């Protein structure tokens, strides 16, 4: 379909080596985008780069920890090599430790915010001039339904994702003058390594499914589809929004 693609777009995706980030990368490649893929584990991200390049795609891998400001310069170098213009930024990287608040060590809850929120902020600050050069850019941050309601995922995680939601609401009007759209996609439980501790527990999984009208957890590709739409020019009048991909979870009452 005409324009229902990402041809000619350069996208940067964090947390791209597995789960939702990998699915987003695959979806973007199928739509014709060029990619800068970022993840901490060099072996994993280089393996994907090699695979996708062998399939004819334009992919650059960067092995770095986005919560470490000293490593972000590696990303900046690649963007500048690609012409200094970035069309799409997907902040997907995230982490969690599930505990009751009083059971956390200080470094544990600090790390959740460092990765989920402050690393995301640093990425957006780093990429801003390159997004501005696009003159038609889209930023998509991965939130969570945990940022809106309690899903027993731990208070620090929920609070960090609530901050991600509010960030888009604030930056959408702030960056609108540069024609940079900022949106959030908020999944419910998805079949990823991060969710494995819950999904591999039969009792917990049963509880999740009982609260989900569609009766199953999401596949990473289903989250990727929503992200891809927001990245397209077809979504050119959508900014400051939160697209909830939850199988009906938040709509369910009695």
Active site residues: 157
- From CA 66, how far away is CA 24, in angstroms rounded? 18
Q: Under a CB-based contact definition with an 8 Å cutoff, are residues 186 and 148 in contact? A: yes
Give the C-alpha separation, 127 to 229, whole Å: 21
Which of 51, 84, 95 shows the shortest CA–CA distance to 193?
Answer: 95
- Calculate the CA 79 to chain-centre distance: 19
Segment (H or E) for 159? helix 155-175
- CB of 117 closer than 8 Å to CB of 138: no
Terminal C-alpha separation, the chain: 41
Instruction: Please give the angle made by the CA atoms of 57, 3 and 62, to the nearest 5 degrees.
Output: 30
Strand partners, 139: 89, 182
Q: What are phi and psi of 211, to 5 degrees?
A: -95, 0
Closest by alpha carbon to 87, among 172, 12, 158? 12
């Amino acid at each position: 379909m005409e324009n229902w693609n990402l041809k000619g777009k350069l996208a940067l995706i964090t947390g791209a080596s597995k789960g939702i980030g990998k699915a987003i990368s695959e979806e973007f490649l199928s739509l014709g985008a060029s990619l800068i893929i970022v993840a901490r584990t060099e072996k994993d991200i280089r393996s994907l780069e090699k695979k996708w390049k062998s399939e004819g795609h334009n992919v650059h891998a960067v092995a770095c920890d986005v919560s470490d400001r000293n490593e972000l310069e590696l990303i900046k170098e690649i963007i500048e090599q690609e012409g200094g213009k970035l069309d799409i930024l997907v902040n997907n990287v995230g982490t969690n430790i599930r505990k009751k608040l009083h059971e956390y060590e200080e470094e544990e809850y600090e790390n959740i915010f460092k990765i989920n929120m402050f690393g995301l902020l640093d990425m957006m600050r780093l990429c801003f001039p390159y997004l501005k050069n696009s003159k038609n850019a889209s930023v998509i941050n991965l939130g969570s339904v945990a940022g809106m309601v309690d899903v027993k995922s731990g208070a620090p995680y929920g609070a960090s994702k609530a901050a991600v939601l509010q960030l888009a609401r604030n930056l959408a009007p702030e960056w609108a003058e540069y024609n940079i759209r900022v949106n959030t996609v908020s999944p419910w439980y998805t079949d990823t390594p991060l969710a494995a501790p819950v999904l591999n527990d039969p009792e917990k999984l049963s509880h999740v499914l009982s609260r989900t009208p569609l009766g199953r957890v999401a596949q990473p590709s289903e989250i990727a589809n929503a992200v891809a739409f927001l990245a397209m020019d077809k979504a050119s009048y959508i900014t400051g929004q939160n697209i909830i991909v939850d199988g009906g979870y938040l709509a369910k009452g009695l």
